[in-house]
Structure 1
Amino acid sequence: MSFNENARLDSSRVSDRRGKGKGIAVGGGLGGGLILILSLIFGTDVMDGLGLSDGGPAGTGAGTSQSISECLDGADANERLDCRIVGTAQSLDSFWAPALATEGLTYTEPGVTLFTGRVDTGCGAATSAVGPFYCPADEQTYYDTAFFDELVAQYGASGGPLAQEYVVAHEFGHHVQNLTGVLGASAQDPRGADSAAVRTELQADCYAGMWAGAAAHIPAPGSAEPFLAELTATDVQDALSAASAIGDDRIQSMATGQVNPESWTHGSGDQRQAWFMQGYTNNDGGLGVCDTFSAADLGSPGA
């Protein structure tokens, strides 16, 4: 999904901590959902308790040669990943504020933090090993931008822009769940193919789809032009590629050669794709179209 080149970006929307972390980026981690669940159960410092904060000696995190203050418009977002995250966050804000208002809810903007190697959060200190994540304790989303290269190189996802934007939108989905009060359900039932944790993650995928389906039709604040241009079929396939690549079945098969649904926390690749499309094709139907908690069959959205 490309940005309209004249769309104005506000770089202050994103906190840039890249190059300031202690520790080394550790590949292979997609534990953001697990961190979210455990932080709801045990509170803050959950990542320290899991031993995910000792990533190596100080100064090993990669720096960045470009300042996020240079992210000025949609043309920059089309060229640079960090600028794309800035624009995606602003587009998500533009979608979720009115969407929640129609549900009688007030949207508050989640924090967006870029980091390398290691970062301190309201849920404790984390390394890149956990992948992108949302911390409900400080209501912030966190991204080591190196993850997006890993998504392609290690997990085989498309490198297209909507594949990247989908990841950001998924984490914003967790913030919406925090605002609606359903996020805590995952802590009560944190593992298994039919668990509340999986239903929570699939709902966040569905919310990402809702945004993707509507984003090109929502004007940016103070403008008649949306942040994002119309989706193409290739854009949609990029997002579905990312959803499939980080399904529990795909990750387990790559890691161990076996698939164990009893230990799932996010759902299968097919389920993640299906719920993204459920939101995408029903983006004007309200939050109820993403009611994974009432679905009798998680492989058949709306059932």
Structure 2
Amino acid sequence: MKWLGRRQSDNVEDRRGLSGGKAVLGGGVIGIIILLLNVFGGETGQTVGNALEQLQGNPQPTETAAPLSKEDEEMGNFVRVILADNEDIWGKLFAENGMTYKNPKLVLFRGSVQTACGGASSASGPFYCPGDQKVYMDLDFFDELKTKFGAKGGDFAIAYVIAHEIGHHVQTLLGTSAKMREAQEGKSEAEANKLSVALELQADFYAGVWTHYNKEHLDTGDIEEALSAANAVGDDAIQSKMQGQIVPDSFTHGTSEQRMYWFKKGFTSGDINQGNTFNEIR
């Protein structure tokens, strides 16, 4: 992606130099699978935080300051550019529809972090917390995305994930997330999960919409990187890899095919009105 020399957002909180050590997870294989099935943490930051506190015994990490490497500094600058792109594009789209876009914060951390949705660790993957309207990311996740889940490398995989989490912020501002949680009340776990899948796929769609309006900055292969990441973190792909079996009723984020489809639909159309996943996938 063409990003060098472009505007950087001021809404990044870089806590990487202050984070504590990597949290040690308990719960054995089952606990680890639960965390992996939350990739990305999405708009369910509260659930992720609570689950991690139970698995870790709610540890209190000791913060130690450490200098960032040149590579870390460069990655932080890249994230700031991607966040700035999201601010510009969503600000414009909201204004065109008679609304005001409120910029979220993005927190970079290592190991573990405290949020308004509870404690979390890097094992949860990137996630959005509606309680403080912040996106949380441990960038080491993207190495695991390649090594554990087989996604292609490249900076646009990171851009896609950031745009997906910003999609959850858009849903919060539009009231979609609150309506989804209300609709989940009284539903069976399987039915509640279907609503969660719809929310996640809509965030993928919004990531595609953002990419549509950012075409001038794309490099050859960027879309393939995004689709590879979406494919790698489909519920079916993760369950097959980690459990050896697929349980559709337990899906919370959508299949690889669904995630790629909705990202591509957003990218192709650029029309936020074509992303009603709640009607189209049920």
Above 0.5 in TM-score? yes
User: Corresponding residue for 1:133?
Assistant: 127
Q: Name the Cα RMSD after superposition.
A: 2.9
Q: Given residue 169 of structure 2, which amino acid in structure 1 is its aligned partner?
A: H
Q: Given residue 46 of structure 1, which amino acid in structure 2 is its aligned partner?
A: N
Q: How does 1:87-166 map to 2 (within 5 A)?
A: 87-166=81-160
User: Corresponding residue for 2:267?
Assistant: 280
User: Corresponding residue for 1:6?
Assistant: 5
Q: TM-score, normalising length from structure 1?
A: 0.79
Shift of 1:84: 1.4
Q: Quick one: distance in 2 between partners of 1:85 and 1:17?
A: 13
Shift of 1:49: 5.1
User: What do residues 193-240 of structure 1 show as CA deviations (whole Å, max 9, x unaligned)?
Assistant: 8711000000000000001111135xxxxxxxxxxx2342x1111000
Contact kept? 2:43, 2:129, Cα under 8 Å:
yes
Q: TM-score, normalising length from structure 2?
A: 0.84
Change (3 A) 1:201 1:82: same
Q: Quick one: distance in 1 between partners of 2:16 and 2:113?
A: 9
Residue 43 of structure 2, aligned match among 16, 36, 45: 36
Change (3 A) 1:32 1:110: farther
Contact kept? 1:23, 1:54, Cα under 8 Å:
no
Change (3 A) 1:127 1:53: farther
Shift of 1:192: 4.1
Q: Residue 273 of structure 1: SS of its match in structure 2?
A: helix
Q: Is 1:202–2:201 an aligned residue pair?
A: yes
Change (3 A) 1:146 1:112: same
Shift of 1:288: 1.2
Q: Residue 81 of structure 2: SS of its match in structure 1?
A: helix
Q: Given residue 243 of structure 1, which amino acid in structure 2 is its aligned partner?
A: A
Contact kept? 2:199, 2:277, Cα under 8 Å:
yes
Change (3 A) 1:53 1:267: farther
Q: Is 1:175–2:173 an aligned residue pair?
A: no
Residue 277 of structure 2, aligned match among 282, 292, 303: 292
Q: Quick one: distance in 1 between partners of 2:138 and 2:43?
A: 16
Q: Quick one: distance in 1 between partners of 2:219 and 2:239?
A: 31
Change (3 A) 1:159 1:142: same
- Where is the helix percentage greater, Structure 1 or Structure 2? 2
Change (3 A) 1:93 1:163: same
Shift of 1:83: 1.7
Shift of 1:148: 0.8
Shift of 1:129: 1.4
Of 29-38 and 106-115, the range deviating more from structure 2: 29-38
User: Corresponding residue for 2:232?
Assistant: 245
Q: Residue 177 of structure 2: SS of its match in structure 1?
A: coil
Shift of 1:21: 2.6
Q: Quick one: distance in 2 between partners of 1:131 and 1:166?
A: 14
User: What do residues 132-174 of structure 1 show as CA deviations (whole Å, max 9, x unaligned)?
Assistant: 0000000000000110111111111111111110000000000
Change (3 A) 1:259 1:133: same
Contact kept? 1:23, 1:56, Cα under 8 Å:
no
Change (3 A) 1:35 1:244: closer
Change (3 A) 1:47 1:56: same
